Amino acid sequence: TDLAFWMIAGLFLCFLMYCWGLADPACGYFLKNCTIRGNLSDPSNMKVLCEKRNLEVIPKDIPRKVSVFDVAMNNISKIGKLDFKGLSNLKILNMSRNQISQLDNGSLRHLEAFQELGLAHNRLTTLSDHLFQGLVNLSLLHLDNNFIATISSSSFQPLSSLKTVNLTKNILYIMKEVQPIIQLPHLQELYIGSNRFTSFQSQEISNTSIELRLLDLSRNPLGIFRITADVLPYLEVLDIAYCGQLGHMEWDVLNRYFLSNVNRLNLSGIEISFERMGMVLQTVNSSLVHLRLNDLVNGSSVLRLEYNNIGNLSEEFLQSCKHMTEVDISNTGLTQLSEFSFRSMEQISALKLGHNRLSHVPKATRNLPTLKILDLSFNIINKLELWILKLGSNKILTLNEAFMNGLHKLETLNLAGNKLSSIRKGEFKSLTSLKNVLLFDNQIASMEDGAFEGLVNLTELQLDSNKITQTDIRNTVLTGLPLLRTLDISCNYITYVNDDKLDPPPFSHLTSLENLRIFSQRHKRLSHLPINFLEGLKSLLSFQAGSLNIKDLHPNTFIHTPRLWFLDISKNEFTALTPKLFHPTPRLNSLYLSKARLQSLDFLIGANLSRVTFLQVSKNDITVVNETVLQSLPALTYLDMQDNPFTCGCSDAWFVQWMESDNQTQVVGAGEFTCNYPADLKDTKLLDVELQFCTVDLGLYCYISTTCLVLLTLVASFAYHFLKWQVIYGYYLFLAFLYDTKQRNKLTPHGCQYDAFISYNAHDEPWVLRELLPELEGEQGWKLCLHHRDFQPGKPIIDNIMDGIYGSRKTICVISHRYLESEWCSREIQVASFRLFDEQKDVLILVFLEEIPTHQLSPYHRMRKLVKRRTYLKTKDGSAEENPILSGVQAL
Ligand SMILES: *[C@@H]1O[C@H](CO)[C@@H](O)[C@H](O)[C@H]1NC(C)=O
Ligand SMILES: *[C@@H]1O[C@H](CO)[C@@H](O)[C@H](O)[C@H]1NC(C)=O
Ligand SMILES: *[C@@H]1O[C@H](CO)[C@@H](O)[C@H](O)[C@H]1NC(C)=O
Ligand SMILES: *[C@@H]1O[C@H](CO)[C@@H](O)[C@H](O)[C@H]1NC(C)=O
Ligand SMILES: *[C@@H]1O[C@H](CO)[C@@H](O)[C@H](O)[C@H]1NC(C)=O
Ligand SMILES: *[C@@H]1O[C@H](CO)[C@@H](O)[C@H](O)[C@H]1NC(C)=O
Ligand SMILES: *[C@@H]1O[C@H](CO)[C@@H](O)[C@H](O)[C@H]1NC(C)=O
Ligand SMILES: *[C@@H]1O[C@H](CO)[C@@H](O)[C@H](O)[C@H]1NC(C)=O
Ligand SMILES: *[C@@H]1O[C@H](CO)[C@@H](O)[C@H](O)[C@H]1NC(C)=O
């Protein structure tokens, strides 16, 4: 019993430990409302993204190590004192686009590592004294689009590292409020546009700002710009676009050297007179390299009169701007430019004339030897007479051999958004330096062989959104492009009726191609991907083939692209894929398969995807995730399974547990996974379903059954040792019970066949035959059942016994020492005694042939009881009981 006690105690202890193990909190890569990007073991770039989740408070389960925390675009209205407690590694915090009107005193304290704070698009009205206390490392502060009207004089004081402040679109109106900011020792950029300032005067700033490089004052109703002291000696960028009051702005810069470092000036839409603009430009002209004059049409009335004559204007205005390198006159309604507009600008390199109404390429753009970028996009040019760089979004119908000669240095050619309908042989032949050709959004429906001949340095060719069909995708068209790395033929009319081999394969010459995009074919969509479509693309890294209506991919599709790294075949109609498909692409890293009608992820098992870190299978019909699937993706760090119809049962229990505890793979949007089945759980969140019992069960069952088994064995061995005979007897009793039930069903209908069944041992047979039989059968006329005479041959002996006993009114047991030793006899006595028990009928008559001590009866526990309780007959010592049987019978 000592042993048993210790065993039970041990088992109990095990159970306790098991329970404790269950209660151990999962600490994995999992946040209910947010997404983690980056690496758990490398906190320096761990990002927690909670943007656009309808949050009303800052989530509580943010890992301490986070360095970038984004809660932009939620519905948070208040920041509590403890919301960011302990996030000592936090460097960037984005709370933009919320409803924040209050930050508790001290809520940002202790964020010593803090560098960047986003509070744009909120409802702040004042910046109080202690708001930024302790943020000594903050360098970038976004406060634009709030309702800030007052700034406490000491609120910015702690921000000794601040470099950039954006206060655009607030309701500040006194420059003095901003003064403490300008005075910060490291401030470089100050954006205070779109406020309500009416004047900018140097005496309001008082002290010299030693670092300020950029001042954005645009879109303020600025009536006065007055600088009477050298307070902004290092200012390089000044933006006063759309300033002025009632079509007027006073420009008063006492000394032209006060702004002598300004090299970029934005005067777009400024409400200033023509003469004054001349003065402005004179103040800065020696250093100016970049001038923006957009939108003058909508600006002052003075310029509106002049605008047709802007060529002359620019001559007068800009003649002295010798150092100008970039001129932006886009969006001014320009229809023409005088020939010598930019002649004086000896260093001009960029000229932006887009979004105007030029109908031909202005002569003013000729003979500018330093010009590198000319932007003529969004005009109405329909004829090409000259060399052009950016001609996007015009109305060019044909190229008319425009590029046959010259332009040897051209690197980028943008002809997107025109009306080109074909590309002829050698069209770009002479543009040997060309690296990028943008031809998207045209009407190209045919390409001649050798269309891109000569473009030996071309790396990018964009042909998307045209009318290209599969017949244009030929290896004779796509030839002579040895360095081509990116080809985009998306949104065209390519379609294949089956996946038969193409001869020759279309891309066989593009051996350097790394990125191929063919998604979203219009018309009938691609439908089939020929087996050897990718043949020859031995450098291919990225293949984007989404939205193509493909139903099946041949297992050999990727055998030609062993370096494939990125594969997007989402939005197709696969329903199932084969693991073999991925065998040739052992380097695959990112796999996009959303909205592909997949019903299971089992194809990933054995697909050899050991390097896949990113898997997107959202919007499919996946109901259950098999554990083996995720075991076959050992490198996975990002899993997107949103919008699948999960079956919320025990089959998902391990998945839930895995999501919550795994610290390598993060499952995006897990908090939003929704059950589709069973019906009563429909639309419940998977994580809210109580599945714990499933996982507990298995272990617990094992545990309980093991315990029971051990205890049973224990009890059984104890019982066997101490109560051996009772056990054996019990066993037989049990058997008898079984037979009894069986027989009763069989025998009840017909009544008794015999008057008595005689149970005896073969050794006592002579007595039975000589003494008992003649007496009972002969004298009394009883019908007896004797086994040697009445048992049916072939019938199982136990059945015979049962039939004999149940078929007789009485059972007479002839008991001797031998009888008790015989197996069958003891069975007979058991069955009979069971019947006694069972039918509450006294059917048993014991006849003792010899004296048997009670202790010998003890194993037959029940018989001893019988002997004690009932009368029985002895035969040996005659006397009064000389004819015991008869009297016994009569007594019955
Ligand atoms: C995470 O970072 C650690 C240390 O920088 C690096 O050893 C490990 O490979 C990274 N894990 C992943 C999945 O990028
Ligand atoms: C991730 O979990 C494994 C065991 O599951 C553990 O060995 C490892 O240290 C954990 N890594 C991190 C960064 O917590
Ligand atoms: C997740 O968001 C819900 C709804 O906004 C919120 O009730 C819950 O407390 C959030 N969970 C955590 C851990 O912040
Ligand atoms: C934001 O919260 C307010 C109440 O605090 C509520 O009235 C409003 O509908 C919420 N907006 C969104 C987009 O959830
Ligand atoms: C903050 O979030 C807004 C909105 O998503 C985004 O535009 C902005 O770039 C973010 N800023 C930073 C610093 O991440
Ligand atoms: C904010 O905290 C500072 C100390 O950090 C304290 O001096 C000041 O009174 C507090 N302001 C409010 C409004 O609680
Ligand atoms: C400042 O805020 C304005 C308005 O939101 C935005 O347009 C501008 O890009 C911001 N500038 C910087 C440098 O963040
Ligand atoms: C191609 O580019 C390289 C380097 O950019 C240049 O050296 C070479 O001359 C170019 N080839 C032609 C034909 O322009
Ligand atoms: C998971 O997949 C393996 C291999 O295909 C299979 O043997 C096993 O039965 C699956 N398990 C479940 C729960 O479907």
Report pLDDT for 879: 40
Query: How many angstroms separate the CA atoms of 245 and 253, rounded?
Result: 18
CB 717 near ligand 4, within 6 Å: no
> Which value, to the nearest 10 degrees, does the dihedral of the CA atoms of residues 854, 859, 861, 865 take?
-10
Closest residue CA from atom 11 of ligand 9 = 626
Report pLDDT for 8: 63
Query: How many angstroms separate the CA atoms of 429 and 402, rounded?
Result: 11
Query: How many angstroms separate the CA atoms of 226 and 234, rounded?
Result: 17
Q: Indicate the residue type of 386.
A: L
Q: Which ligand is nearest to the CA of 34?
A: 3
Q: Indicate the residue type of 146.
A: N
Report pLDDT for 717: 84
Q: Ligand 7 centre from 74 Cα, in Å?
A: 20
Considering only CA atoms, which of 101, 96, 67 is closest in space to residue 84? 67
Confidence of residue 141 (pLDDT cuts 50, 70, 90): very high
Q: Ligand 5 centre from 659 Cα, in Å?
A: 28
Confidence of residue 693 (pLDDT cuts 50, 70, 90): low
- Tokens encoding 853: 């001590």
Q: Which ligand is nearest to the CA of 629?
A: 9
Q: Ligand 4 centre from 130 Cα, in Å?
A: 28
Closest residue CA from atom 5 of ligand 1 = 42
Q: What is the pLDDT of residues 350-405, one digit of tens each?
A: 888 887 888 877 877 777 777 777 888 777 776 554 444 555 555 555 555 555 55
Report pLDDT for 738: 74
CB 41 near ligand 2, within 6 Å: yes
Whether the Cβ atoms of residue 626 and residue 598 lie closer than 8 Å to each other: no
788: β partners = none
With a Cβ cut-off of 6 Å, ligand 3 is lined by: 32-33, 55, 59-61
Report pLDDT for 755: 86
Average pLDDT over residues 233-243: 90
Q: Ligand 4 centre from 167 Cα, in Å?
A: 25
CB 195 near ligand 7, within 6 Å: no
CB 456 near ligand 8, within 6 Å: yes
Q: Is the confidence at residue 151, as pLDDT, over 90?
A: yes
Whether the Cβ atoms of residue 164 and residue 138 lie closer than 8 Å to each other: no
Q: What is the pLDDT of residues 541-578, one digit of tens each?
A: 999 999 998 989 999 999 999 999 999 999 999 878 99
685: β partners = 674
Higher pLDDT, 495 or 25: 495
Angle between helices 797-806 and 724-747 (to 10 degrees): 70
Query: How many angstroms separate the CA atoms of 550 and 496, rounded?
Result: 10
Query: How many angstroms separate the CA atoms of 483 and 571, rounded?
Result: 31
Report pLDDT for 618: 95
Q: Which ligand is nearest to the CA of 459?
A: 8
Name the 3-class secondary structure at 62: coil
Average pLDDT over residues 106-117: 88
- Tokens encoding 277: 């603009």
Whether the Cβ atoms of residue 829 and residue 759 lie closer than 8 Å to each other: yes
Whether the Cβ atoms of residue 197 and residue 227 lie closer than 8 Å to each other: no
Q: Ligand 7 centre from 409 Cα, in Å?
A: 36
Whether the Cβ atoms of residue 849 and residue 876 lie closer than 8 Å to each other: yes
| Range name among 162-166, 192-196, 395-399, 637-641 with the lowest pLDDT average | 395-399
Q: Which ligand is nearest to the CA of 53?
A: 3
The pick from 116, 142, 144 for probing ligand 7's pocket by mutation, whose C-beta has the most ligand atoms within 8 angstroms, reads 144
Percent helix, strand and coil across the chain, each to the nearest 5: 25, 15, 60
Whether the Cβ atoms of residue 101 and residue 122 lie closer than 8 Å to each other: yes
Greatest mean pLDDT among 381-390, 478-487, 717-726, 834-843 lies in 478-487
Report pLDDT for 657: 86
Q: Is the confidence at residue 488, as pLDDT, over 90?
A: yes
Report pLDDT for 578: 92
Confidence of residue 14 (pLDDT cuts 50, 70, 90): low
Report pLDDT for 130: 87
CB 472 near ligand 7, within 6 Å: no
Compute φ and ψ for 594, nearest 5 degrees: -75, 155
The pick from 39, 47, 666 for probing ligand 1's pocket by mutation, whose C-beta has the most ligand atoms within 8 angstroms, reads 39
Whether the Cβ atoms of residue 647 and residue 676 lie closer than 8 Å to each other: yes
Q: Ligand 7 centre from 294 Cα, in Å?
A: 19
CB 96 near ligand 5, within 6 Å: yes
Whether the Cβ atoms of residue 370 and residue 394 lie closer than 8 Å to each other: no
Q: Is the confidence at residue 444, as pLDDT, over 90?
A: yes
Confidence of residue 594 (pLDDT cuts 50, 70, 90): very high
Q: Ligand 3 centre from 53 Cα, in Å?
A: 9
Average pLDDT over residues 657-679: 85
Q: Indicate the residue type of 153.
A: S
Compute φ and ψ for 313, nearest 5 degrees: -55, -50
* Ligand 2: nearest atom to the Cα of 40: 13
User: Average model confidence (pLDDT) for the chain?
Assistant: 80
Whether the Cβ atoms of residue 90 and residue 115 lie closer than 8 Å to each other: no
Q: What is the largest CA-CA distance in the chain?
A: 162
517: β partners = 488, 544
Name the 3-class secondary structure at 481: coil
Report pLDDT for 554: 93
Other C-beta atoms closer than 10 Å to the C-beta of 689 total: 19
Q: What percent of the chain has pLDDT over 70?
A: 80
pTM of the model: 0.60
CB 169 near ligand 7, within 6 Å: yes
The pick from 54, 75, 99 for probing ligand 4's pocket by mutation, whose C-beta has the most ligand atoms within 8 angstroms, reads 75
Greatest mean pLDDT among 315-329, 438-452, 637-651 lies in 438-452
Q: Ligand 1 centre from 38 Cα, in Å?
A: 9
Report pLDDT for 165: 97
Q: What is the pLDDT of residues 737-750, one digit of tens each?
A: 776 676 666 554 44
Confidence of residue 316 (pLDDT cuts 50, 70, 90): low
Report pLDDT for 13: 55
Q: What percent of the chain has pLDDT over 90?
A: 33
Confidence of residue 299 (pLDDT cuts 50, 70, 90): very low
Q: Ligand 8 centre from 342 Cα, in Å?
A: 30
Query: How many angstroms separate the CA atoms of 287 and 283, rounded?
Result: 9
In the chain, how many H helices and how many E strands? 19, 42
CB 94 near ligand 5, within 6 Å: yes
Whether the Cβ atoms of residue 589 and residue 612 lie closer than 8 Å to each other: yes
Average pLDDT over residues 307-312: 36
Average pLDDT over residues 203-216: 86
Q: Is the confidence at residue 796, as pLDDT, over 80?
A: no
Q: Ligand 1 centre from 717 Cα, in Å?
A: 57
Higher pLDDT, 415 or 463: 463
CB 105 near ligand 6, within 6 Å: yes
Average pLDDT over residues 223-237: 90
Confidence of residue 306 (pLDDT cuts 50, 70, 90): very low
Whether the Cβ atoms of residue 663 and residue 40 lie closer than 8 Å to each other: yes
Q: Ligand 9 centre from 682 Cα, in Å?
A: 25
The pick from 40, 42, 611 for probing ligand 1's pocket by mutation, whose C-beta has the most ligand atoms within 8 angstroms, reads 42
Q: Is the confidence at residue 122, as pLDDT, over 50?
A: yes
Identify each DSSP E strand in 571-692 by its residue range.
590-592, 614-616, 638-640, 646-647, 666-668, 675-677
CB 26 near ligand 8, within 6 Å: no
343-368: b or e for each residue (b if 16 or more CB lie within 10 Å)?
bebeebbbbbbbbbebeebbebbeeb
Report pLDDT for 279: 74
Report pLDDT for 871: 55
Considering only CA atoms, which of 416, 408, 519, 514 is closest in space to residue 462? 416
Identify each DSSP E strand in 597-689 by its residue range.
614-616, 638-640, 646-647, 666-668, 675-677
Closest residue CA from atom 7 of ligand 6 = 130
Greatest mean pLDDT among 319-328, 342-351, 538-547, 639-648 lies in 538-547
Phi and psi based region of residue 201 (left: phi greater than 0; alpha: psi -120 to 50; beta: remaining): beta
| Range name among 286-290, 493-497, 806-810 with the lowest pLDDT average | 286-290
Average pLDDT over residues 853-858: 69
Greatest mean pLDDT among 16-20, 196-200, 521-525, 815-819 lies in 196-200
